[in-house]
Amino acid sequence: MNPAQFAVFGHPIGHSLSPQIHQAFARQFGIELDYRAIDAEPAAFVAEVRRFFADAGRGANVTLPHKAAAFALADERSEAATRAGSANVLTPLSDGRLAAHNTDGAGMVRDITERHSVDLRGHTALLLGAGGAAHGVVGSLLDAGVGTLTIVNRSPEAADALADAIGDPARVHTRYWQDLSAIGSYDLILNATSAGVLGASLQLPFSLVGARALCYDLSYGAAASSFLAWAKTAGARYAFDGLGMLLETAADAFELWHGKRPDTEPVYQSLRRQHG
């Protein structure tokens, strides 16, 4: 009998650690699976996904730039996916329709609060970026109890649209990117932009970093290095990349598909040794 088929869709996708992660999780339970990375250009994404599930695919992770398209493609959507307007997990239902989930926010908050032992309650948070990654985490940040959330994006219209979608004007505000040097300091700064992935530098002022600040990049590895270097130079108390978030979101998808919760910590430590 052939092993169950799983995949991650993205563009580009060669850097993805998801195949390695899901194989490591499967070994914890003696599960045989085939998990591959599929590079799908945006125009081909829907057709590639439909082909994968028509060929008995059992589950798919979705990463940049396809999360909004995955949400739109699905027939059913979880509460977290609906809240985010995007999906990072697709699962076939018994009747052949597709269900969309979004585990980004829950995974990020679990990484920060459990792995790194940082209580987010009452934090003044600055979110850089208002794209799909930002949409995926804002709800969970507010649920975790951040005091205020300020959204800054190079396109202010996108930041305003995200704030309006959240609908919590007492806690959620937007500011202009060009005003970053004049908006004070924060004790939680999250980089949800694609700058690191694209090899660009954000050129952020050091004045953003409060005395006890946690700076967190939703990407990991080389893509997060520039932001983390800035955070450390600015004197941040903590500077973390999103490797742990990747592990936690993968664990949520694995549990959804297999009904078993993997232990993420040994896989995290192994990947950290390999990738720094």
| pLDDT (tens digit per residue) in 173-182 | 999 999 999 9
pLDDT digit string (tens) for 80-113?
A: 999 999 999 999 999 999 999 999 999 999 999 9
Q: Are 125 and 253 in contact (CB under 8 A)?
A: no
Cα angle for residues 130, 14, 259 (degrees, 5° grid):
75
Which residue, 232, 163, 157, 230, is CA-closest to 195? 230
Band (pLDDT 50/70/90 cuts) for residue 64 is confident
Q: What is the pLDDT of residue 201?
A: 78
Domain boundaries, the chain: 4-102+247-275, 105-241
Mean pLDDT of 187-206: 87
**Whole-Å CA distances, 125 to 148, 193, 199, 253, 264:** 6, 15, 25, 27, 26
Cα-to-chain-centroid distance, residue 134: 8
CATH fold for the domain made of 105-241? Rossmann fold (3.40.50)
Query: Where are the extended beta strands (E) located within 84-237?
Result: 89-92, 98-101, 124-128, 148-153, 172-176, 186-191, 209-217
Mean pLDDT of 119-140: 95
Q: What is the pLDDT of residue 194?
A: 83
* pTM score: 0.94
**Whole-Å CA distances, 37 to 22, 49, 176:** 11, 12, 37
Q: Which CATH superfamily is domain 4-102+247-275 in?
A: Leucine Dehydrogenase, chain A, domain 1 (3.40.50.10860)
Domains 4-102+247-275 and 105-241 in one fold: yes
Residues that are catalytic: 67
Residue 131 has pLDDT above 80, yes or no: yes
**Angstrom distance (rounded) from CA 128 to CA 45:** 27
Which residue, 87, 77, 146, 86, is CA-closest to 112? 146
Percentage of residues of the chain with pLDDT beyond 90: 89
